[in-house]
């Protein structure tokens, strides 16, 4: 699942919001939920993410394809500026943004009718995860507070 999946809003709003007619994200989600009947969709983010660093540092020049693609993360920037969750305060800025981005992508998935219907039916769950590369640790993302909960190491 692309980590910067744009919100669903139908063909017309996709073109207005993103300036393209790429329907691949919506098609992949619908196929996974409606045809493959997946039980869990996991959105993953990671530390030291180049895309998040580009957002924080303004590293994409206006008019570039990268700048255009990073616009999908604007809702994540808004979410990021909400009060910092206790589980993320010690993280570098770009890593905190990566956690907020995972939480935002979970919300974006709820914009797809097939996802909402499957969750309501109890056949689908959404999970957010964050991978701390340097420390080789995996965390669950709590989208309600943009926070992290450690995943216990296997026994």
Numbered residues of the known binding site for Zn(2+): 46, 49
* 141 neighbors 103 (Cβ within 8 angstroms): yes
What are the phi and psi torsion angles at 124 (to 5°)? -140, 140
- List residues forming the annotated binding site: 46, 49
CA-CA-CA-CA torsion sign (40, 11, 69, 65): positive
What are the phi and psi torsion angles at 24 (to 5°)? -65, -40
């Amino acid at each position: 699942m692309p980590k910067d999946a744009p919100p669903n809003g139908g063909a017309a709003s996709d073109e207005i919001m993103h300036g393209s007619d790429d329907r691949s994200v919506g098609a992949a989600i619908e196929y996974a939920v409606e045809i493959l009947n997946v039980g869990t969709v996991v959105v993953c983010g990671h530390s030291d993410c180049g895309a998040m660093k580009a957002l924080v540092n303004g590293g994409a020049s206006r008019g570039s394809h990268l700048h255009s693609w990073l616009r999908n993360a604007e809702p994540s920037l808004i979410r990021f500026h909400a009060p910092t969750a206790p589980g993320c305060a010690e993280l570098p800025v770009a890593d905190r943004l990566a956690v907020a981005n995972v939480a935002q992508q979970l919300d974006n998935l709820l914009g797809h009718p097939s996802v909402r219907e499957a969750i309501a039916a109890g056949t689908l769950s959404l999970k957010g995860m964050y991978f701390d590369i340097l420390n080789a640790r995996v965390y669950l993302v709590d989208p309600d507070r943009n926070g992290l909960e450690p995943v216990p190491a296997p026994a």
